[in-house]
Structure 1
Amino acid sequence: MSDALKSAVAHLHTPQLNEVPFSRPQTPHHGLQIGFCGLGAMGYFMARNLARHPTAHISSPVLVWNRTKAKSEQLVKELGESKVQIAADPEEVARECDIVFTNLASDEVVKDVFLKFEKALKSVMSFKPKIFVETSTVFPALAGELDNLISSTGHARLVMAPVFGPPPAADTAQLIIVMAGDYRSKKEIAHILVPAVGRKIIDLGGNLEKAPTFKLIGNSFILGTLEILAETLTLGEKSGIPANQVYGLIKDIMPAPPVINYGEKMVNDLFDGSNGFAIDGGIKDSMHIRRLTTDLDSPMPALDSAHQHLLTARALHAAKKARGHSVFETLDWSSLVAGARVAAGLDGFDSGKHSKVVPED
């Protein structure tokens, strides 16, 4: 984590009682088995932190599954078999666990995994209650489909619980978690997630679609901020004012962690998607947001520009990869600045190639 980002998040604090809007649930007579499916850039840290912070009523180890088994093996190597075990498939997680968390790349993958959950639950003659917690960023309508799959078994509940924060926030358990669904289920998982995984719970009631809707609203603000940030830094360079000076002013007048973090990436061309939010995920989210604004007749022109600049950045990167000139395997979504730069006649990814104006004495 950079010094700029560390200073930006210095105000974050240890979770307090009022940051979990539910009283503590009663301790069950048996230890709960936790499962986690999806060990990507966010899920790996979330599963790791759950395994590191078992509570009195949670059994260890956490049972994990990932499409690429190497990530599961990496987690076992990091924490040991006493804290993590690897499931053969999602069906095993659904059968063996009382609470199952998922954090997956796309709506299609989420739906596919939940179909496997449904199949597994219907294959076993058990009426032991289970809770499935979906933490990915998905389109709101998918929540109803997932609920139909899970509730058809008669003894399982779904909670939609998307999370706010980049991978570094997941690493340090500083995520903000939004919840919608069955009240008792939310109460049960809220005290598992805070402080192990996140610092705050926002409860949006029983309508499952409200949580993914709120997530898209929040991401629309972040993505719109990235677009304005990219355009502002580009305008500075075109006018002969160094980007780092414009960035310095931005930090002074708007010292929000996302602004500081993504501004630093743009100014220094730090577009490595393996250490941030990959551009494919950003484009998926922007498509969801634009679909939501269309459904609700609520235009967001800044998001339209951001979406086009994300596509431009991805296309430029694909061309560089084809020529063997790409610096990064995948891009961070802060690389949308490449779209603004190219539109202004500048190099998309290498600010060192921009003409510099020497200050007069």
Structure 2
Amino acid sequence: MRKVKRMNLSTEKAVIGFIGLGVMGKSMARNLMKAGYRLHVYNRTKSKADELLQEGAVWHDSADGVAQQADVTITMVEYPRDVEQIVLGQTGVLAAAKEGAVLIDMTTSSPELAARIYEECLKRGVRALDAPVSGGDIGARDGKLSIMVGGDEEVFEAALPVLQAMGSNIVYQGKAGAGQHTKMCNQIAIAANMMGVSEALAYAERSGLNPTTVLKSIETGAAGSWSLSNLAPRIIAGNYAPGFYVKHMIKDLGIALQAAESMGLEAHGLSLARTLYERLAESGEAESGTQALIKLYRAGTIA
């Protein structure tokens, strides 16, 4: 194992590579530029990078092209299989990364894969963190994401200035994979909460109440939550645009359910939530935001 070199990750020195410019990734990348970092980017669909390129980001035609230039390479893609290919593939990030560089995977992925990437990075003298996020499109836009980090603590401390450009609640959770395990806790809580929000609003509608007025009463009480304050108003307005896709929630809940089963944990709420979101996707809502769950309750197709 090669000894890892220390790097200066201040904005004056570090070059950041960012791979994956979706609903959240584009805003995260933009906030890094606002913080003063030099940014190199890659995305499967180049047009999604156009605004960032106009603002000064440098385009590359491949993930390894980004990694060759970067002191820190951040991946924010869709599925664990995408992470595996982009990071560990023959022409992936790890094959091209400079010795001593830092890889931060911010995709919600599997804890097992995060641990494997960490080990492979060590062999090549590269440092790795798994750092999934929560906060949706609003948190990404405002630079107020919650970031859950696994890996070596000294690497976390070195990368903290980079993470602070994207988030406001940044917590070191432990060894490699701990960030992903924490994100699974987050997704389990969110999924159950979204069922509660949807059910409450459906109840309000069926009983003849004004949902907006109901929200004024319950969002600051014991029922209060991020989903109730941020997604319930979208539901009431008929806005199902994705801050977080239904298809991605299904992916996350599948990872969480598999991990729970491997630990012998019966996660009843998690299992029900995945079933409901799968049913929602089958009805044509895979590309909608998770708040579209209300449509099952309105249609009476929960049973």
| TM-score past 0.5 threshold | yes
The one-letter code matched in structure 2 to 1:198 is: G
Alpha-carbon distance in 1 for matches of 2:75, 2:105: 5
Structure 1: tracts of 5 or more residues without a match: 1-24, 55-59, 319-328, 346-361
Q: CA RMSD in A?
A: 2.4
Task: Give the drift of 1:118.
Answer: 6.8
Residue 48 of structure 2: aligned partner: 71
Residue 282 of structure 1: aligned partner: 249
Task: Give the drift of 1:34.
Answer: 1.3
Change (3 A) 1:308 1:245: farther
Q: How does 1:284-323 map to 2 (within 5 A)?
A: 284-317=251-284
Q: How does 1:61-100 map to 2 (within 5 A)?
A: 61-77=38-54, 79-80=55-56, 84-100=57-73
Residue 168 of structure 2: aligned partner: 199
Residue 3 of structure 2: aligned partner: none
Say which of 188, 191, 215 aligns to 2:183: 215
Contact 2:115/2:176 (<8 A) preserved = yes
Q: Which segments of structure 1 move beyond 6 Å, counting only runs of 4 or more?
A: 25-28
Larger Rg: 1
* 1:264 to 2:233 alignment: yes
Contact 2:121/2:128 (<8 A) preserved = yes
The one-letter code matched in structure 2 to 1:277 is: F
Task: Give the drift of 1:246.
Answer: 3.2
* CA displacement, residues 59-92 of structure 1 (integer Å, 9 cap, x when unaligned): x531111111112222112x13xxx101121111
**Percent of aligned positions with the same letter in both sequences?**
22
Task: Give the drift of 1:317.
Answer: 2.6
The residue matched to 2:231 in structure 1 has which SS? helix
Task: Give the drift of 1:342.
Answer: 2.1
* CA displacement, residues 303-338 of structure 1 (integer Å, 9 cap, x when unaligned): 2332222222222236xxxxxxxxxx9311111111
TM-score (norm 2): 0.88
The one-letter code matched in structure 1 to 2:136 is: P
Contact 2:14/2:38 (<8 A) preserved = no
The one-letter code matched in structure 2 to 1:342 is: A
Task: Give the drift of 1:293.
Answer: 2.3
Contact 1:90/1:116 (<8 A) preserved = no
* CA displacement, residues 246-298 of structure 1 (integer Å, 9 cap, x when unaligned): 3333224244332111111222321122xx11111111112122222222232
Residue 185 of structure 1: aligned partner: 155
Task: Give the drift of 1:52.
Answer: 1.4
Task: Give the drift of 1:164.
Answer: 1.5
TM-score (norm 1): 0.75
Residue 212 of structure 2: aligned partner: 244
Residue 192 of structure 2: aligned partner: 224
Q: In the comparison of the two structures, how many residue pairs are matched? A: 294
